Structure 1
Amino acid sequence: MDQQPQSSRLVELTSSLSSYVVAGFLALFPIFFLLFTSNPIEINKIALMIVACSLLGLAWIVQIMKKGSVLIRPSTILAALVLFTGTSVLSALATSSNRIDAFSGRTLVMLVMTGFFFFSTTIARRSTTIALSSKSNLFLWAYTFSAGLLGIFVLLQPTGFGLPWFINRSFGVSLPNSITFQTTGSLLLTLFLLISATIAHLTEVFAQKEKLEKTIHSGFFAFFLLASVVTGYFLLPNNEGALIFQPFSSSWSIAMDILKQPKTALIGVGPESYLSAFTQYKPVSLNTTPYWNVRFGSARIEVLQILTTTGIIGLLAFVFFYSSAFRTMFPLRAQTRSLVTIAATLLLYHLVFPATTVSFGILVAILSAICIEKNRQNDQDIIALSLFSVRSRDLYSSFTEQKSERLVRQISVALVSLLVFLGQAWSVLWFERLYRVEVLLQQSYMASVAGDLQKQYDLQAKTIALLPQSDRVRQIFATTNYLIATGIAGKKELSEQDKTTLNALVLQAVQEAKNATALNPLKTQNWETLLSIYQQLIGVVPEAEQWAVAGSVRAIQTDPANAMLRLNLGMLYAQLQDHNQATLLYRQAIELKPNLPGAYFQLSISLQELSRFEEAYQAMVQAQTLAKDPTLQVSEEEIKVIDEQVAALKKVVDDLQKQREAQQAQSQTTGTTSSTPTGTTQQQESSLPSGAIRLPEELGLPEEEAPTGVPTGTNESTPEPVATSPSPEPTPTPAE
């Protein structure tokens, strides 16, 4: 130990800082959010993680500089976290289709929280100034504070004065007054936090000896139990917060498909690429469930999520992390009983449900608190390292030898301190770019609400400059450009300036949509954006129809089990008057989802165009039957249209039948054979081979280059206003 009093006080101060930072993190992290980013919850919680980790890192640097040695405290949990994070980094580097996405989500969180655990547990030393007994547990009360606020807002929600009401009144925003808005990002996670607090205080009720302490913990136990029951009620089926999870069977099927390829079996598809894996490998059987048109961004359970995204190596690291956590916790259950119960509850959550940024952050912080409590009782497991060693080969004096060793230690400390500081600076600067983009996206959304299209355009252009490799910001910018263009095109009279601006906006919309597909070609939404823009430009931009078809084909290639994509491509071919190809695609959509009334309806329309009226009648009758199924939620107006079509086709088919009977009677009289009347051609077989789903061979990608401009001139046309969904702008509330 350092004998200098000032140095000892500084070491003691940095040691105390670890406890206060971890406790402050537990008190703030579950409830922390800010409204001036497009995602008010997750991005701001990552920012809080980085701030806490940076404070702990600086404290560690100060401590090793004062001690004159590089200090580490090895543990199985630290080794497991390093291995777990390393597999995520390896998978992100080797397999992810977009590095921006790969290092802005789960992998970034794991890197930061690994540093958080290392710094907080290493600088925590045997302390005389902080003596937390079972009567005054700093970490438990910090956790109780955040969980208590969550419980209060849950209990107030039925009265209409819950968290959204409080935020709206405090900040002048207009969030929907719903229980589904939670600062944890998930009502389910809120429930688990409340349950863990309930169990923790129940443990203290049985452990405490003094009556006052028992009474206090009993009160908190009753409060958290009530809040847990109310939260659980909201999560029941048909209630406001009812859960929607990917079925286990489809999660399992996707994971097994990943294992069929050696590379992805080993290291997965990438930490942030589960959505791409879902669309690529989604089983057709999912189309028979109510979630057939939902794109899930996570597996049913965390084990399958990790197996899919980081492969077998990641799964082994996950198992090692779990076993290390339990081996560390349970020997300490007597000293840290309440923290152990909280950690065990969160570990259970990660086994049964997919992990989130919030759940993983709280879990690592609780494990850090347990290890800090352990370290206060024992400093013997801390190790002082030197990057270099001094070994005398000649007869140096003892003084020279000691001086050399001291110099080597100083160099080691300086070098490690510099590396840690540079690493923290890099992470802060990298995250600052991500954060500024989220702020700009929210500002652009507010500008669009205010009708300031120029400001909206300028702000989104800045996001491109900050993150040019992000397909997400380019997709948003592409949609915004086209929506602004359609607004201009809707004017009754266009000036020359309007025409010039319109052309530039359409061209930029096309180019940004193409850039998004180039940056992340496995993301179905990028191709859907491109085909949507080109579909609106058919008849305006040369070869737009070919690019619309190409975009739709690529979207189908990234999501081959999606019946709606094939239905939409069939409708595109019908728009281009290629009804033969349209009918093939409609039949494919029906094979993928046999209870899709829209596919039967569109199939009937195209068959009518081909004068195959009997087949058209059969398809329309099938659409009519399905439309009456209340679970498919077909509107009354749509049912009325289908009924009218069925009646009209029935009349045509009856007329054809009468013609056939008349021809047969005439043939019996004359002894000749009649030809088949119009509308009785044999049904064309589907292009789908048995047991496989593929694209028709004739649907290859066009070989033409992308259009480089929009035609101009005195007779130029302008695109019709887009009748599509609103732009995927950032919203002030998180997506459920």
Structure 2
Amino acid sequence: MGMFSFFSKEKDYKGVASMGVGEEIEISVNQNEEPLWGVIARWSVYLIALLTPLWFLPITDNPVDGNKMFLVSLLTLIGFIAWLATTVHMGTFRIPRFTSLYALGVWLVVYLLAALFSVSLETSLWGMSAVSFFHILISGILAFLVSVALRTVNHVRTVYMLILVSAGIVSLFLLVQSILGIDIFSWEFTKARTFNPVGQWNTVGIFLGFVLVSLFSFLTGSIHKSRLKRLSFMILLLLVFMGTVVVNYRMVWLSIAIVSIVYLAYIYSHASGHARAQYVMGPLLFLFVSIVFFLSQDIVNLFGSSLNPPLDVTPSVSSSWRVAEQVFRERPILGVGPNEFGYAWDRFKDPTVNTTVYWRLRFDTASSFATTLLTTTGLLGALAFLLFVGSFLWSGLLLLGKLQLENKEHQYISALFFGILFLISSWFFYPLTVITSVFAFLLLGLFVAEVHIAGILPYRVFAIRGDSTKGFLIALISVFLMVVCVVGLYIRSQKQVAAIQYGRGVEALLVRSSVNEAELFFQQAVALDSSRDEYYNAITQTSSIKLQRVLENTGGQSPKDVQDSFEAALSSAVGSAQKATEVNPGNAASWRLLGQVYEMVIPYATGAAEAAAGAYKQAITQAPTDPLLRDDVARVYMVLGDYVKAREALEEAIRLKSDYAAAHFRLAQIAIIKGNVEDAISNTERTMLFVPNDIGVLFQLGLLYYQQKRYDDAGLVFERTTQLNENYSNARYFLGLTYAAKGAGALAIEQFERIQTLNPDNAEVRAILENLRAGREPLAGITPPPLTRVGPPVSKEGKELQQEDTLEKDQPTGEGVKKNEE
């Protein structure tokens, strides 16, 4: 911390505080007389400032954000308990007289109401997300804790220095890992060049951007420091700037430009002549640079293309508004509940998203935190949020008018204000993350503490006297809050241990392929935290693997042993799947998984087909615009022999997604089974006259031609299909078979090589290529024939993105979806 000593300044706290109605006392606190509880509270804040950007652990399924949330929760609650103990010890209870903190309290109350009336209470209250009520509450407590636990100038300076230290370390990490390509850690998930301890790639840019704008106030002041201090400042500034350039997030540059303009307005209103010229040079330079980078994204990205930054995709603003509008019609006051945007997305997703490669993704957030709040906390929550933001902006801008540029304390106040302004602005263009939440509220607390130390903001201080009713009530409330914090700390710790066990189960299943070990860990996770449907779904998947193995490996076992094993695995799979739907009934994925379990045992269990169809229908109720679910229920109807209902479901799937290969594939199968191929061909040909560029119709027609061995016609149609969509893997599959049937082996190999590029993990494509290169029939040794299977031969169309599941790593722009450009 020595290199940042130019930010340090010692000063004891001394102030006048109100003891009650009309009663004033003067209190003086010396750092050496601070009780142990006060030291613990202060050091909790120090550790949060330093460790939050750097902290991650490879022990859960969410090693970065998940473990950051636990660390901040742990330290905040410990610090708050320590502060409460300090108030009892010292006999005074201090509350800042700052309007924004009161507005924050109002917002937290509304946020709690939205959680209590949520579509899923547990998910909204305790969800493992930065937007759940518990974690928003922790951020609010952190803001209050910082404002009351830091009593001297030195305390505030230390926190700010620790933030700068962490920013410098993060910037160095980016340069070493991302630019030089040197792996700093040995864990597999840390070996990507864009891995960082902060979190999402764009979040790194936001974090470093806020540090940059907070340094504006010190650009001129550093000139008057010693050479070593100036050098330290310039090194830090250069490191943070280079880190921001490495990330190169367009919206960060825009925000830097906007904050620069506001800062320049502040300078012009407070300085004149030579002083004005001196103070505006730095911000003007950053304004110019940020505009250049904002306008030169494509050029800059050419140099960073080798980093292959992860795709960061959210719904577009229009899609987010559409979902909010639909929610307003049903739940206008408090929305669907915090952390429940995914539920609203499933129910009200814009159907145009189905035309993009992102159609299988379930978004858990809208285009930004602000637009997410419209859906999750309703009109009341949005107004309370705007009240909090507006009150801070109003109070902050009024405060700026009272500051003096040359005053050191006032420079810190302006630095903190512009840092908060930058972080709050990110809430309007990017989803809330652990970093943007924690540091926005941490800086808010620092801002309040600094304004008070500067003598601008008074605190209200209540005396805890044994002979007064007010003192008794304050003491009682303090003890009650301690108990609540201890309970909250216990519950959060228990959920963290459950997350660790779940992570161990995922590792056992994916790395060691140990199903029994994985299931044991998942069961332990459920025992510790029964509120997360993904834990139950994990048990369902391991039980389904066991069930599949029982059905495939019956040799050497007595019929009774096979039956017992079958019943045990089926009972576990169905029971855990049903429990998942009870824990979170709004999650269509859980209902679909239940349907898949029933579908697996249709040949062996009476009534399984009807149960599967029922589960799929419930999933459709939760996600009515998902064509995948229509295909699921159609598949069951085909097993039941109800081809009329199957066709209706498939036609609805095609209405939702016209190029949906699976639905067209199954419609062709139905025509073949019913012996109506010629009629189907005639109807499809007539349809093609009206929509000649509909690749779904073309694909279906090609399949029918192929089944009738009309290879010339099939080849023409499949060629047209692949011209319209080069990544249509199933069309290329049948085009390759068509070429092979016509004796054009080289062309067939070309098609399957392209499929292999798009689907490198497809074993059947590799086998077909081996057959073709050896001069054999393409499907030699491959059964059953493609047109008699349950689904199309290639499950993923090219670069199409699937919802990433922890246990299924089969691994997103178009209308309705926004890509957050790096």
The answer to whether structure 1 residue 455 and structure 2 residue 517 are counterparts is yes
Q: Of 253, 258, 261, which residue of structure 1 is paired with 2:322? A: 253
Task: Decide which moves more: 545-554 or 465-474.
Answer: 465-474
Separation in 2, partners of 1:727, 1:96: 23
Aligned counterpart, 1:51: 74
Report what 1:703 is aligned to. Answer: none
CA distance in 2, matches of 1:468, 1:20: 34
Instruction: Give the whole-Å Cα distance in 2 for the aligned partners of 1:18 and 1:193.
Output: 25
Q: CA RMSD in A?
A: 3.4
1:244 aligns with 2:321: no
Cα separation, partners in 2 of 1:642 and 1:599, compared to 1, 3 Å:
farther
Number of the residue aligned with 1:634? 729
Q: How do 1:180-259 residues align onto structure 2 when only pairs under 5 Å count?
A: 180-210=194-224, 212=227, 213-232=229-248, 239-259=308-328
Equivalent residues of 2:174, 2:196 under 8 A apart:
no
Alpha carbons of structure 1 residues 176 and 217: separation in structure 2 relative to 1, 3 Å: closer
* CA 305–615 in structure 1, closer or farther in 2 if over 3 Å, else same: farther
Give the counterpart of 1:96 among 113, 116, 119. 119
1:499 deviates by 4.2
Maintained 8 Å contact 1:64/1:413: no
Give, in angstroms, the shift of residue 645 of structure 1: 13
Distance in 1 separating the partners of 2:389 and 2:180: 40
Q: Deviations over 1:135-176 (max 9, x none)?
A: xx43332122222222222222345645xx3221xxxx3226
Q: Is the 8 A contact 1:194 1:227 kept in 2?
A: yes
- Residues 502-550 of structure 1: CA deviation (Å, up to 9, x unaligned): 3211111111111211222211111111011111111111111001111
Shift of 1:500: 2.0
Of 108, 131, 135, the residue aligned with 2:134 is 108
* Aligned residue runs from structure 1 range 209-358, under 5 A: 209-210=223-224, 212=227, 213-232=229-248, 239-261=308-330, 264-330=331-397, 331=399, 334-358=411-435
Calculate percent identity across the aligned residue pairs. 19
Aligned partner (choices 150, 154, 171) of residue 174 of structure 2: 154
Range that drifts further, 175-184 or 505-514? 175-184
* Matched residue SS, 1:35: coil
Query: Hey, what's the Cα distance between the residues in 2 that align with 1:567 and 1:195?
Result: 46
Q: 1:380-419 to 2 correspondence within 5 Å?
A: 381-385=458-462, 406=467, 408=469, 411-419=472-480
- Name the SS for the 1:260 alignment partner: helix
* Cα deviations by residue, 1:72-127 (Å, 9 ceiling, x for unpaired): 223222112212221221111112324245323421111112222222212333x3
Instruction: Give the drift of 1:430.
Output: 1.0
Which one of the candidate residues 439, 442, 445 is aligned to 2:500? 439
Aligned-partner residue type, residue 421 of structure 2: A
Letter in 1 for 2:429: V
Q: Which residue of 2 aligns with 1:73?
A: 96
Distance 1:405 1:286, change over 3 A: same
Do the aligned partners of 1:203 and 1:337 also contact (CA within 8 Å) in 2? yes
Please state how far the C-alpha of 1:206 moved relative to its aligned partner: 2.4
Give how far 1:311 is off: 0.3
Work out which of the two has the higher radius of gyration on C-alpha atoms and give 1 or 2. 1
Deviation at 1:66, TM superposition (A): 3.1
Matching residue within 159, 163, 185 for 1:167:
185
Per-residue CA distance 1:636-660 (angstroms, 9 max, x = gap)? 752337858999xxxxxxxxxxxxx
1:709 maps to what in 2? none
Would the aligned equivalents of 2:210 and 2:419 in 1 still touch at CA under 8 Å? yes
Deviation, structure 1 residue 576: 3.1
Q: 1:506 aligns with which of 541, 565, 570?
A: 570
Which residue is 1:544 aligned to? 608
**Amino acid across the alignment from 2:94:** L
- Alpha-carbon distance in 1 for matches of 2:577, 2:326: 30
1:31 aligned counterpart, secondary structure: coil
CA distance, structure 1, for counterparts of residue 37 and residue 424 of structure 2? 30
- The gaps in structure 1 that reach 5 residues or longer are 388-403, 648-722
Match of 1:533 in 2: 597
Matches of 2:622 and 2:209, distance apart in 1: 40
- Tell me whether 1:572 sits opposite 2:641 in the alignment: no
Structure 1 pair 97–5 and aligned structure 2 pair: CA distance change class (3 A): closer
Query: Could you report, residue by residue, the CA deviation over 1:369-409 in whole angstroms, capped at 9, with x for unpaired residues?
Result: 1112122233972223479xxxxxxxxxxxxxxxx863546
Q: CA deviation at 1:364?
A: 0.5
Q: Supply the distance in 1 between the matched residues of 2:371 and 2:629 (Cα, whole angstroms).
A: 27
Distance (whole Å) between structure 1 residues aligned to residue 438 and residue 27 of structure 2: 37
5 Å matches for 1:648-663? none
Shift of 1:188: 0.5
TM-superposed CA distance for 1:17, in Å, is: 5.9
Task: Please tell me whether the aligned partners of residues 199 and 221 of structure 1 are also in contact (alpha carbons under 8 angstroms).
Answer: no
Q: Which amino acid aligns with 1:204?
A: F
Map 1:666-705 to 2 at 5 A: none
Determine if contact 2:201/2:309 at 8 Å carries over to the other structure.
Answer: no
1-structure distance, mates of 2:478, 2:657: 60
Q: 2:673, 2:124 → 1: CA distance? A: 46
Aligned residues: 630
Cα deviation per residue 1:246-302 (whole Å; 9 max; x = unaligned)? Answer: 1222111101111112xx110000101110100101122222333222211110122
**Structure 2 SS opposite 1:71:** strand
Contact 1:549-1:569 within 8 A present in 2 as well: yes
Question: Where does the alignment leave 5 or more consecutive residues of structure 2 unmatched?
Answer: 1-15, 17-24, 249-299, 401-409, 685-696, 704-717, 743-793, 796-801, 813-819
Mapping of 1:481-520 within 5 angstroms? 481-491=543-553, 493-496=555-558, 497=561, 499-520=563-584
Residue 158 to residue 382, structure 1, CA distance change in 2 (3 Å) = closer
In structure 1, how many angstroms separate the alpha carbons of the residues matched to 2:595 and 2:351?
24
Structure 1 residue 634: Cα displacement: 1.5
Higher mean Cα deviation, 95-104 or 70-79?
95-104
Deviations 1:204-254 (A, max 9, x none): 222334253444323322222222112116698994334322122211110
Amino acid at match of 2:87: I
Query: 2:726 and 2:552 mapped to 1: Cα distance?
Result: 38
Equivalent position amino acid for 2:500 in 1: V
Is the alpha carbon distance of 1:416 and 1:158 closer, same or farther for their aligned partners in structure 2, counting shifts above 3 Å?
closer
Distance in 2 between residues matched to 1:585 and 1:492, nearest whole Å: 36
Q: In structure 2, what is the equivalent of residue 119 of structure 1?
A: 145
Q: Work out whether residues 18 and 121 of structure 1, in 8 Å CA contact, stay in contact via their aligned partners in 2.
A: no
Judged with a 3 Å threshold, the aligned counterparts in structure 2 of structure 1 residues 337 and 484 are, in CA distance, closer, same or farther, namely same
**CA–CA separation in structure 2 for the residues paired with 1:564 and 1:472:** 20
Q: Distance in 1 between matches of 2:366 and 2:564?
A: 47
TM-score, length-scaled by structure 1: 0.78
Deviation at 1:628, TM superposition (A): 4.3
| 8 Å Cα contact 1:237-1:243 kept in structure 2 | no
Matched, 1:144 2:164: yes
Q: 240-249 or 551-560, which moves further after superposition?
A: 240-249
Where do residues 576-587 of structure 1 align in structure 2 (5 Å cutoff)? 576-587=640-651
The worse-fitting range, judged by mean Cα deviation, of 316-325 and 237-246 is: 237-246
CA distance in 2, matches of 1:344, 1:114: 17
TM-score (norm 2): 0.70
